[in-house]
Amino acid sequence: MKYLVALLIIVPAIEIWGLITAGQAFGWLPTLVLVILTGVIGAWLAKREGLQIFRLAQAQMQRGELPGEVILDGILVFAGGLVLLTPGFFTDAVGFLCLFPVTRSVIKTYLKAWLQKNIQNGNFRIYGGNFRRW
């Protein structure tokens, strides 16, 4: 929780500093256009990648496979699209890293290692259920 509070304070401060610096260097209008442009491009890219991931997950489930890797891709694309909608250059950089397949695979490797470590340490618990078909 303390990390979340720190992020909620530090990230907006960095974004405000970046926007002010860019506004002073380039002017307010080019800065505003760039922020809007990255949001539009990010939304389009997130939609495109999200639809591809959805189709891949559907195909894997139709073959009887569990779409574990694809679910992580979907989470990263969702997170990337979400932070791209927030104004600022730092969050835009993080968002684009989550959307591009090459950098997303690197992030996914670290995410899997982090999840595995936390599951082994008992920080996450996975409960199985007795599922019935309706």
φ/ψ bin of 12: left (φ > 0), alpha (ψ from -120 to 50), beta (otherwise): alpha
Tokens linked to 66: 């569990």
Residues whose CB is less than 8 angstroms from the CB of residue 96 and which lie 6 or more positions away in sequence, other chains included: 38, 42, 45, 80, 84, 103
Contact 92, 110 (CB under 8 A): no
CA–chain centroid gap for 55, Å, is 19
Contact 94, 83 (CB under 8 A): yes
pLDDT in tens, the chain (134 residues): 788 898 889 999 999 999 999 999 999 999 999 999 998 999 999 999 999 999 999 999 999 888 888 999 999 999 999 999 888 999 999 999 999 999 999 999 999 999 889 888 887 766 665 655 54
Q: For position 2, what pLDDT does the model report?
A: 82
Q: For position 120, what pLDDT does the model report?
A: 86
Q: For position 10, what pLDDT does the model report?
A: 93
Task: Write down the pTM of the prediction.
Answer: 0.81
Q: For position 131, what pLDDT does the model report?
A: 54
